[in-house]
Amino acid sequence: MKAIDYFDSHMKGILSQIQVLDIYFLNLISIIRDKPVESDAIKNIINASLISGYNLLDNLYIEEEFEYFENSEKIKYAGQHILFSLYTALENYFVKKFREYFLYKLNNSDSKLTERILKIISFKSLKEIKYNYSDYLNIHLPSIDVIYFSQNKCNFHPKNSWEDYLFYQTFETMLLIKV
């Protein structure tokens, strides 16, 4: 299986996690606002693989909701799990893609030697992965730069484009956001 296929599989699972949390958010919002649950939004999330947009746009919340969400351990842990899953998917993708590029580059080489070399190359962190791409494949991943959209009270504030590039690209390209 190709690296992108593994990544797509991870992303489907992460999308499911986001959707479950989104449905939870919609129910909490209805309780806080003392209004009926947005059943059409929930149907769209369940049937059409959409998300509501509440997890990206701060102007959809009232102050009381922000305070509740900031203090909710359930939401914090769920969000941390999604970020950890995304980090794992990113790391796995880069390791598997490195293997594909490396095998292609050494296509005419001794396959046993190539496999032994791949076994000793370390992929323990994104920093090592980035180094391996540069050193072995002459691919400079730190040159990736991305313009991202984030609002003041949004929980997504990337430190740099290398660590958060794929996270944003996943939201932008994979999810059809309906507000």
- pLDDT tens digit string along 68-78? 877 888 888 88
Enclosing domain of residue 71: 3-177
Is the per-residue pLDDT at 123 higher than 80?
yes
Question: Does the pLDDT at position 63 exceed 70?
Answer: yes
Q: Quick one: pLDDT at residue 36?
A: 93
Instruction: Give the C-alpha separation, 170 to 14, whole Å.
Output: 10
What is the pLDDT at residue 67?
A: 80
Q: How far is CA 42 from CA 9, 11, 18, 21, in A?
A: 23, 20, 13, 11
pLDDT surpasses 70 at 17: yes
The sign of the torsion formed by the CA atoms of 115, 120, 125, 129 equals negative
pLDDT, one tens digit per residue, over 82-112 is 888 888 888 888 899 999 999 888 887 778 8
**For residue 74, what pLDDT is reported?**
86
The answer to whether residue 169 scores a pLDDT higher than 70 is: no
The domain total for the chain is 1
Say which range, 3-7, 132-136, 164-168, has the weakest mean pLDDT: 164-168
Looking at 1-5, 111-115, 153-157, 171-175, which range is the least confident one?
171-175
